[in-house]
Amino acid sequence: MNALLKRIWIGLAATLIVSLAAVVMPDHIQVGDDGRIRLGAPAPTPSPSAAVSTPEATSPPLTRDAVDEVIRTAVGAAGLDPAQGRPTGAAGADSNRTGWMAVREKTAAQAEMNAICADLERQGWTLNPNGDRADASRSYKRGGWYLLVSTRGKAQTPSPTSALTDSQTYLTLTGLQLNLSDIPLPEITVRIG
């Protein structure tokens, strides 16, 4: 009985690890035809019919200042004044975090979020739909940066003194610089079943 329980726990732990990895780095999970799951960057296999790389693969790295300008442009395209919100990232061009936030009426926030997202796509940002909810948040990637556009209520309250009314929400753009390709992943093969 102990051996059976041990195998069940190992299987559950392996499933949890694979699930978390699939959420964080969906490009690094491969499932074989035989049911084996392989973690790690896929080995490069040149193919004569290889597709042209996506714009993200050839996007040059963006600077913090460039991302700040992208955010200001997208906010302005939604008909908002960037100065009426407030920055959410630490000052300094060497920072790998940036953002903007404003308190908005819930009735207008969804349309404003949609306009911001449309402008990000116009500027060449690639939609990264893993885990997004079209009515509450969308994420984009480009040049080593990820942008999350969100209309979330009181869960993201920045301080106890800035309470929202029932008709208000936060409209936020959060930028984070990540280079996941520099993180070495071990090659792990898991056989379930």
CB 86 within 8 A of CB 143: no
Q: In this predicted model, which residue has the larger pLDDT, 60 or 118?
A: 118
d(CA 147, CA 172) in angstroms, rounded, equals 10
Q: Which single residue is written with the structure tokens 């050839």?
A: 58
**Residue 111: what residue type?**
A
Share of the chain above pLDDT 90, in %: 28
CB 67 within 8 A of CB 175: yes
- Per residue in 121-157, pLDDT (tens digit) is 999 999 886 766 767 789 999 988 999 999 876 544 4
User: Reduced to 3 states, what is the DSSP secondary structure of residue 119?
Assistant: helix
- Per residue in 66-113, pLDDT (tens digit) is 999 999 999 999 999 988 888 887 666 568 889 999 999 999 999 999
d(CA 5, CA 190) in angstroms, rounded, equals 18
CB 51 within 8 A of CB 131: no
Global pTM reads 0.60
Q: In this predicted model, which residue has the larger pLDDT, 190 or 65?
A: 65
Token representation of residue 33: 């035809």
Q: Domains for the chain: give ranges and CATH numbers.
A: 2-42+184-191 (no CATH), 56-180 (3.30.310)
Is 62's pLDDT higher than 50? yes
